Amino acid sequence: MIDGRRMVSVLGSTGSIGVSTLDVIARHPDRFGVYALAANASIDAMREQCLAFQPRYAVMAEEAAADSLRARLPADCATEVLQGEAGLAQVVTDAAVDTVMAAIVGAAGLPSTLAAAQAGKTVLLANKESLVMGGQLLMAAVRESGARLLPIDSEHNAIFQCLPASASTRPSLAGVCKVLLTASGGPFRQWSRARMDAATPEQACAHPNWSMGRKISVDSASLMNKGLELIEACWLFDLPPDAVDVVVHPQSIIHSMVQYLDGSVLAQLGNPDMRTPIAYGLGWPERLDAGVAPLDLIATARLDFEAPDEGRFPCLRLAREAVAAGGTAMAVCNAANEVAVAAFLDGQIAFTGIPGVIESILAQVPVLEPTTLSVVESADAQARQLAAEYIAGLPGQGGKTGLA
């Protein structure tokens, strides 16, 4: 804390979650300050953020990007530019830091998220892969250090809000029967399998309700995002997989629900704007103005629900199977998915080829107990290599294949 303000390190600051986080922070300059910003390679956007928020540090993933940012910041800018994992570790463990927004996309976010938890920080978790890959390690670190882990994914944040009140960030499950994760169904909710065979990256990234990055948008289209969220919910709320159901809700107004033993179902509703869960995480246990328009129920008019179709969207089934297998299977599932999504976005495979890659790699990589970060990272690396080899060997490589 500096000058009575909670200092925040925003990892993934140039992405959609990072930008929304900075928007909420800017609305409360008396309560929050930006201690550090971190991004992959968006030099222009990082420069503008440094000038606007004057953080103590800015971290770029690669040395070349860090050098370029240093050269482009004016001489009177007090921001020091760091790079790589060492830089990330520094800005999440510094004694001056109170809160870490963990919004780096994909497996790359795990080491810094784990370091923040080990340092006892308040971690606002928007990087679901950290729990999918290293849930056992991350939750152990939270318990041992006394860190606070607050979910920022809209679905998990909604569940957190609907669970029994608690003075801790590990809410009671007293009286809870199950949690219901809502899914929009994505842009292909009503598409046939044949039509999805020819889907383009632009179509997959055109989410009907949310403004998100390309990778998470593809995951939403395949329902793998919901599969990863199912895994995340099990870790966050200490739930068995059969206590987590997925319900398709196209309007994205109900962000998730909690079903109780007495027949009650509590839901959290709101306009689809990530600033709501971000503000809840930043202000917890208080509520903050997030700049989000209030929900107009009359204009909303209707709320629809349907069961997910795991025949057309097998990624959800594969995520469930990874949970059942336990250990490093979840890290393998995540890694294979990341490689497959990147291949789809690069035009190497069809959208419907994504689950085939994942299923093949899950069958090849042995399941180990994730006792250390190195065990998880090794499984991740092996899965990525095998997935890349699998894709390279597919018939019609260089064009697209719809093999699933």
Q: Is residue 269 part of a domain?
A: no
* Residues of the domain holding 30: 6-152
Q: Is 115 within 8 Å of 137 (Cβ atoms)?
A: no
Is residue 322 a part of any domain in this protein? yes
Nearest alpha carbon to residue 137 among 369, 392, 340, 394: 369
SS3 32: strand
260 — alpha (psi -120 to 50), left (phi > 0) or beta?
beta
Does residue 104 sit within a domain?
yes
* 220 within some domain: no
Residue 318 lies in a domain: yes
Q: Measure the CA–CA gap between 365 and 380, rounded to whole angstroms.
A: 10
Cα(69)–Cα(77) distance, rounded to whole angstroms?
12
- Select from 116, 182, 195 the least CA-distant residue to 149: 116
**CA nearest 236: which of 371, 142, 370, 369?**
142
DSSP letter at 29? T
How far apart, in whole angstroms, are the C-alpha atoms of residue 277 and residue 158? 8
Instruction: Give the separation between CA 403 and CA 395, rounded to whole angstroms.
Output: 9
Place of tokens 């998915």: 337
Helix (H) or strand (E) holding 257: strand 254-260
CA–CA dist 126, 239 (Å, integer): 19
| Domain limit, last residue, from 113, 128, 152 | 152
Beta-strand pair 265-269/122-125: unpaired
Instruction: State how far the alpha carbon of 76 is from the alpha carbons of 46, 54, 87, in Å.
Output: 16, 11, 22
On whether the CB atoms of residues 309 and 45 are closer than 8 A, the answer is: no
Residue 282 structure tokens: 């930043």
Q: What CATH code is carried by the domain that includes residue 65?
A: 3.40.50.720
SS3 label, residue 354: helix
In a domain, 190, yes or no: no
- Residue that is last in its domain, among 120, 152, 184: 152
Rounded-to-integer distance, Cα 198 and Cα 395, Å: 16
Cα–Cα nearest to 325, from 354, 352, 372, 358: 358
CATH (domain of 399): 1.10.1740.10
pLDDT of residue 165: 72
Q: What span, in angstroms and rounded, lies between the C-alpha atoms of 17 and 102?
A: 9
Per the CB < 8 A criterion, the answer to whether 218 and 358 are in contact is no
pLDDT along the chain (404 residues), means of 10: 93 96 98 97 96 97 96 94 97 98 90 97 93 93 96 95 76 89 94 95 86 86 94 93 95 95 96 95 95 94 94 95 95 96 96 97 96 94 97 72 47
pLDDT for position 404: 43
Looking at the domain assignment, is residue 397 inside a domain? yes
- For residue 98, the model assigns a pLDDT of 98
Please say which residue of 135, 152, 169 terminates a domain: 152
Tokens describing residue 191 = 């598409």
Does 369 fall in a domain? yes
Q: For residue 64, which amino acid is it?
A: A
List the beta bridge partners of residue 269.
254
Measured CA distances, 207 to 204, 235, 239, 250 (Å) = 7, 27, 29, 11
Q: How many domains does the chain have?
A: 2
The bridge status of strand 265-269 relative to strand 254-260 is: antiparallel
Is the CB of residue 57 less than 8 Å from the CB of residue 35?
Answer: yes
With CA atoms as reference, report the closest residue to 137 among 371, 375, 378: 371
Dihedral (Cα; 180, 182, 188, 191), 10-degree rounding: 50
Q: What's the token pair of residue 17?
A: 């979650």
**Residues composing the chain:** 404
